[in-house]
Amino acid sequence: MRRALNLTLAIYRITERFPQGEVLISQLRGLGNEIAGDAAGVEVRNLAKKIDRLLVYFQIAQQQDWVKSLNWLILAREYKLLGQEAGLAGSVGAEGDLKNEQAAEPRDKEFVSHNIWKAKKPMVKKRAQSVDLSSRQKRILQELKSGTPLKTSQLVPLFAGQISERTLRNDLQKLLIRGLIRKNGSKKTAVYLVR
């Protein structure tokens, strides 16, 4: 089935954005490959169980916030449709509805996978808190504490004629690495907020 192949390729594209070495990459890709193979060979006997298992993996990946949640919702819907096309209308997706479960569970509940990248993150934050900040970095933090998300272009006037925009971006990057601020968006649309 063409749909199964396209969905497997979508899984590959999305998992390219995961942290390197994440175990969930091989699990998602492997199960996607199996489902595509079963669908192509019309091996529908175990297809429903595999799709349900894949939907659970989607939920875990969605909680990690490596890619937008919308990607997981679309993939889940498409895999349910694949199951329906294969004649599994009643058995696929009963426990895999990401939208309903997302609404039912509080957002602060976190699934932690067994990846090293996640475990190292708190160490960086602790080290960052003990490092002294430059006067520019303190001024940037003070400005961001107002609660309004700001773009780099909105922070430039704070240091008009004193530093270059590149120096400002370097300071922002250092604050990001230390975990003191966060960034939403990319390139010119990026805004910075205090954590």
Domain ranges of the chain: 2-104, 116-194
Amino acid at 160: A
pLDDT at 119: 42
* Residue appearing with tokens 């490959």: 33
CATH number of 2-104: 1.20.1440.60
Question: pLDDT digits over 154-172, tens only?
Answer: 888 888 888 888 898 899 9
pLDDT at 41: 72
By the 8 A CB rule, do 175 and 141 touch?
yes
Is the pTM higher than 0.85? The answer reads no
By the 8 A CB rule, do 21 and 115 touch?
yes
CATH number of 116-194: 1.10.10.10
pLDDT at 58: 87
pLDDT at 153: 87
Q: How many Å from the N-terminal Cα to the C-terminal Cα in the chain?
A: 46
Residue 57: which of 100, 95, 19 has the closest Cα? 95
pLDDT at 43: 64
Q: At what angle do helices 165-177 and 135-144 cross, to 10 degrees?
A: 80
SS3 assignment, position 182: strand
pLDDT at 132: 82
Regions of the chain where pLDDT drops below 50:
89-130
